[in-house]
């Protein structure tokens, strides 16, 4: 009697560290429920490997609710898999068919070196944030919402930019491994609000400089980053960042 479950072939990238050469290794998984998440399927695979005395596959995960941005898998040539607007942990096995072959790789970027297997070092994002992605000016205690009026369109745009979870899908899908969608979102979420104005131009200069220092590439203007972003971060943020950056350069020249 058929259970509706699936048998699949996985081609998984295995690599000990960023100093050694990696390769795709074939694995068979059987009786996979279509209601499993992609990470749950990997849990089953790893349990099978452990039971056979083999080393489990290393991959990032944390909340498994599409919030933390940790589940960075490149699945069949797309970050987070074939569906739009979701992370890997939100991808269910019903998105595939019985007998499918699924290729799973880590993010590919100079600035994201492989730690092991499917896990990459994304601390470059942390250093970009440390270069200016914060508000250090003391704005006092929190006021009642109505005491600091902000146009709704502006508040909505700031909120949408702040939805970025820093997963790195934008970098992984860009042929230049550009981080401009991520950086522009982190800049925009503060540039659009009153609290972010005192450091607005210092912030954009510091974060862009750090982005370049980390080895991320330039924007291709193809829009692949927005298309693959699980939170739908808009390319408008990149345009805003570029305007702020050139304004900051102009101000610096005037002051000099």
Written as six digits, the tokens of 170 are: 């934008």
DSSP 210-232: HHHHTT-B---SS-HHHHH-TT-
Mean pLDDT of the chain: 94
pTM of the model: 0.93
How far from 124 is each of 30, 39, 111, CA to CA, in Å?
38, 25, 7
**pLDDT of the residue at 15:** 98
- Using a pLDDT cut of 90, give the percent of the chain over it: 88
Taking residues 201-221, report their average pLDDT.
Answer: 97
pLDDT exceeds cutoff 50 at 191: yes
pLDDT exceeds cutoff 80 at 146: no
**pLDDT of the residue at 195:** 87
Extract the runs of DSSP E, i.e. beta strands, from 110-244.
114-116, 119-120
Q: How many CA atoms lie within 13 A of 174 on its CB side?
A: 25
pLDDT exceeds cutoff 70 at 52: yes
| CA–CA separation, 231 and 178 (whole Å) | 17
Residues whose CB falls within 8 Å of the CB of residue 244, separated by 6 or more in sequence, listed in order: 187, 191, 200, 201, 204
**pLDDT of the residue at 150:** 87
| CA–CA separation, 206 and 38 (whole Å) | 38
Q: Are 41 and 75 in contact (CB under 8 A)?
A: no
pLDDT exceeds cutoff 90 at 175: yes
**pLDDT of the residue at 1:** 39
Regarding beta strands 74-75 and 101-105, do their DSSP bridges make them parallel or antiparallel, or are they unpaired? antiparallel
pLDDT tens readout for residues 87-108: 999 999 999 999 999 999 999 9
Q: Cα(first)–Cα(last) distance of the chain, in Å? A: 79
pLDDT tens readout for residues 117-142: 999 999 999 999 999 999 987 767 77
């Amino acid at each position: 009697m058929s259970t509706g479950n699936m048998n699949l072939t996985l081609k998984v990238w295995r690599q000990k560290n960023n100093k050694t050469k990696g390769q795709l290794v074939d694995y068979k998984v059987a009786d996979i429920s279509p209601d499993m998440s992609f990470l749950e399927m990997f849990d089953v695979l790893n349990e099978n490997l452990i039971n056979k005395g083999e080393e489990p596959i290393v991959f990032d995960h944390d909340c498994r609710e599409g919030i933390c941005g940790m589940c960075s898998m490149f699945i069949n040539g797309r970050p987070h898999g074939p569906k739009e607007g979701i992370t890997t942990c939100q991808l269910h096995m019903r998105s595939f068919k019985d007998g499918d072959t699924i290729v799973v790789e880590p993010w590919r970027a100079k600035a994201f070196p492989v730690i092991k297997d499917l896990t990459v070092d994304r601390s470059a994002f942390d250093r970009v944030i440390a270069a200016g992605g914060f508000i250090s000016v003391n704005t006092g205690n929190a006021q009642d919402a109505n005491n600091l009026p902000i146009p709704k369109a502006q508040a909505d745009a700031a909120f949408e930019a702040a939805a970025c979870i820093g997963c790195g899908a934008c970098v992984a899908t860009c042929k230049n491994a550009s981080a401009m969608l991520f950086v522009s979102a982190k800049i925009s979420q503060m540039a659009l609000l009153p609290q972010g104005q005192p450091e607005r131009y210092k912030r954009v200069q510091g974060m862009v400089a750090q982005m370049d220092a980390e080895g991320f590439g330039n924007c291709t203007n193809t829009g692949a980053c927005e298309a693959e972003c699980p939170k739908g971060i808009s390319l408008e943020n990149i345009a805003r960042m570029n305007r702020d950056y050139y304004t900051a350069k102009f101000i610096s020249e005037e002051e000099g």
